[in-house]
Structure 1
Amino acid sequence: MNRKYHWKQLQNYCTHLFEKAGLQKKDAQVVAESLIMADLRGVDSHGVVRTDIYLSRLKAGMINLDSEMEIKANGPVALLDGKNRFGSIVGSKALDLAIDRTKRFGISAVGVKHSNHFGTCAYFLKKAIQHDLIMIITSNASQTMPPLGGIRPFIGTNPFSVGVPTGNHPPFILDMATSVVSRGKIIVAAQKGEKIPDTWAVDKYGNPTTDATDALEGSVLPMGGAKGYGLSMFIDIMSGVLTGAGFGKYVNNMYENWEETQNVGHFFIGIDIKKFMPIEDFKKRIDQYFKEIKSEPKAPGIKEIYIPGEIEQRHVEERKQYGIELPIKVEEELRKWGEAYHVNINDYLLKPEEVFE
């Protein structure tokens, strides 16, 4: 039976693990926070399930602990060399650069090279929104998706994301893979022994499959056919080709390649709303827009129309109150690392009678 953990306790546990693994406390907190936020939002494929591979790559020397990141900046444009640090740490530095330059120049473009898997884009979007900025974030990923009409993986499920601040409504947060689903969801399905829809992926021979393990040996499919394929290519061009990071088959798989660093690339574009109108006016207009969308007539069987990010925000509220449920396999992985670093996971279990804020 899966057990639940209080989100703060689980975040503290993961922070301690990353500290024991050699990260400075502030860096360990960033990595753990990015994972927990994914779980809170219901994106379990990018949550603490990634702790095992993160720590395994760190232990194998595939991720640098404290190398100095290099910045080349010219006005609103900056290029960040992540020097193979943890992706969430590199992404946080890039976000700081984008926020600073957006406030100074009204718009910014920050490219990133030599990074690693950085979790969900939403983690960074939520922070940008707090500064009343619109933020667009993309990242490339290792090859898991074939070119349209192909069989074998060549491009990643490269995510595209946008965050927009609001007034009284939960913020607009669109964070999506350019595949039908993220590969992480298939990984989770394989761990749970669950079937997947036959529209998600093909096996290594190019045949549609409902077997998650066969799908992981094959390729995930682009959303919307040619549209998702083209969008994924564009993200690879911006995040990889333009920045000097890996692209296509040169973004290395963190689960399979233990000889080379990932060299993931990201791209951040910031827009200062105040350069267009007073922020209060914008928030009133965006709230009106959302209110009118949500009041539109609903199709049969539909109870509510949602804005991107709204469902995830409700997951956050629910899981903060009732805890984060971990699959047994993930708990076992976390327990194993706790034993290795002398951190007892049982100290972080949610007691059934407790309700948390």
Structure 2
Amino acid sequence: MSMFSYGMLEVNRLAGRELPVDGGFDDDGRLTKEPGTIEKNRRILPMGYWKGSGLSIVLDMIATLLSNGSSVAEVTQENSDEYGVSQIFIAIEVDKLIDGATRDAKLQRIMDFITTAERADENVAVRLPGHEFTRLLDENRRNGITVDDSVWAKIQAL
């Protein structure tokens, strides 16, 4: 698990944007926000730095063994493009563990704690994972999905 997906690196590179925070290293080993450099040299930062990289390694091991699929090492070293990545899905029926009202209250407390945190930039809201999805879905339904011209040309050439 990395700070940014390679898809997000591509989106930012094609839009001519730097990443909002350092996402990897350049060829000289310096931290960089330049998505194209990170895409090319594949020296991407792990999510959560050392804690996140440890979790990522353990999850990769578990997914590889449970699915008998390709590990990150195999995908990275043997494929020029990412495919055949191991995946596992864990389904937990939360309602068997905790009642709905308690669940909702606990989740709301977590969301309130996060969204009311002090902001690095008071003009930028603190967001929760997935909370932009509904807005983006509505926007895409109204206006269509934006596709970079160079990406669309590659799709049409298939």
1:274 is aligned to: 95
What secondary structure does 1:265 align onto?
Answer: coil
1-structure distance, mates of 2:112, 2:60: 35
Asked if 1:328 corresponds to 2:144, the answer is no
Kindly provide the amino acid, as one letter, of the partner of residue 251 in structure 1.
V
Deviation at 1:180, TM superposition (A): 1.8
- 8 Å contact kept, 1:180–1:200: yes
Aligned length: 156
1:54 is aligned to: none
Deviation at 1:310, TM superposition (A): 1.1
| Relative contact order, higher structure (CA 8 A, sep 6+) | 1
- 8 Å contact kept, 1:293–1:305: no
1:203 is aligned to: 26
Deviation at 1:212, TM superposition (A): 3.2
Matches within 5 A, 1:171-320: 178-196=1-19, 199-218=22-41, 219-252=43-76, 256=80, 262-279=83-100, 281=101, 284-285=104-105, 288-289=108-109, 292-293=112-113, 296=116, 299=119, 301=122, 304-320=125-141
Q: Residues 246 and 316 of structure 1: is their aligned pair in 2 closer, same or farther, counting only changes over 3 Å?
A: same
1:36 is aligned to: none
| Unaligned 5+ runs, structure 2 | none
Deviation at 1:305, TM superposition (A): 4.8
2-structure distance, mates of 1:296, 1:192: 31
2-structure distance, mates of 1:197, 1:305: 14
What secondary structure does 1:270 align onto?
Answer: coil
Deviation at 1:324, TM superposition (A): 1.6
- 8 Å contact kept, 1:183–1:220: no
Deviation at 1:325, TM superposition (A): 1.6
- Give 1 or 2: higher helix fraction: 2
Larger-Rg structure: 1
Q: How large is the Cα RMSD of the aligned pairs?
A: 3.4
1:136 is aligned to: none
- Give 1 or 2: higher strand fraction: 1
Kindly provide the amino acid, as one letter, of the partner of residue 157 in structure 2.
K
Q: Identity of paired residues, percent? A: 22
Matches within 5 A, 1:79-118: none
1-structure distance, mates of 2:39, 2:65: 26
- 8 Å contact kept, 2:2–2:47: yes
What secondary structure does 1:229 align onto?
Answer: helix
Q: Residues 201 and 307 of structure 1: is their aligned pair in 2 closer, same or farther, counting only changes over 3 Å?
A: closer
Deviation at 1:189, TM superposition (A): 3.0
Taking structure 1 as the reference length, the TM-score comes to 0.37
1:56 is aligned to: none
| Unaligned 5+ runs, structure 1 | 1-177, 338-357
Taking structure 2 as the reference length, the TM-score comes to 0.73
